Structure 1
């Protein structure tokens, strides 16, 4: 087996953490949506999600101020909207209108959910100790919604530099964990 040195700037594509999601926030009557792929599950119950949101992103200050957001999980049918949302600023554009996304009232938070997404997670910020240094928020999922009509969702996974894979084959292996 011949291995060679790999550029550190491309490691992200090897460890890609999960599906690309659309994060929604709202403040002072204005809702926004951003594309995010830097997130990780941290705990099962209560469900905690860690995520990085750039301080240059319009959603950063809104999340910091309101301490709530929704994580909306799109499928491959929304791939063009996901990329489009990620390539423009919510300071200049109403992304819901531009990309044909339908905001829906959430049950527990002020940020909207996205109707077209396969699943929606209503979240509150649980811990901000890593925000100032790393832009890393720890979110607690307080309510979750899923479209039960979609049996095998094909989620998008970012590999870097505009390259995505689509969730594919499912393996079911026996587990002794309870």
Structure 2
């Protein structure tokens, strides 16, 4: 074995698929790319996510305490990376990247029509926001738009590298 710089550890532990987060404030919606998130509870479903205070969506999420997590398939990977490489401060990302905003049922930020799943969320806990920019979100409504097999997702591995889901295996377990 060889030594790995601790600054590279995140490339091994990325928690889940790359997703899009929508937030809205003052009647204007924004979308950002996010890969730092994880499930923290089954019921109610709670998701922890890091949204940098440098991101345009941070202020809207902190103020309105609601968002949508939209889960894209791997076929949208290039577009999703481009969404993450520009700022909503000066760009209407929905228009620029031809994303379809759809009305959510319980929150103001829009769903994204091109994504196979959308999770309407409300902020449940902000105790770690000041120190870590970590929000705990409660999923209050979930939507899917796929038939049969779940679309393949993609995962960030750092510095422009991504892995795409492969074969799904089932192993009997007493857990859910």
Shift of 1:126: 0.0
Which deviations, in whole Å up to 9, do the C-alpha atoms of 1:89-113 show, x marking residues without a partner? 0001000001010000000000000
Normalising to structure 1: TM-score of the pair? Answer: 0.97
Partner of 2:157: 159
What TM-score, normalized to structure 2?
0.98
1:96 aligns with 2:94: yes
The RMSD of aligned alpha carbons is: 0.9
Is the 1:156–1:167 Cα contact (8 Å) retained in structure 2?
A: yes
Q: Which moved more, 1:99-108 or 1:147-156?
A: 147-156
- Return the offset for 1:150: 5.3
In 1: Cα distance, 2:56 partner to 2:41 partner: 27
Residue-pair matches, total: 176
Partners of 2:52 and 2:7 in 1: how far apart? 17
**Partner residue in 2 for 1:47:** 45
Counterparts of 1:159 and 1:177, CA distance in 2: 28
Between the aligned partners of 2:25 and 2:104, the Cα distance in structure 1 is 14
Q: Among 7, 15, 18, which residue is 1:20 paired with?
A: 18
- Determine the structure 1 residue equivalent to 2:121: 123
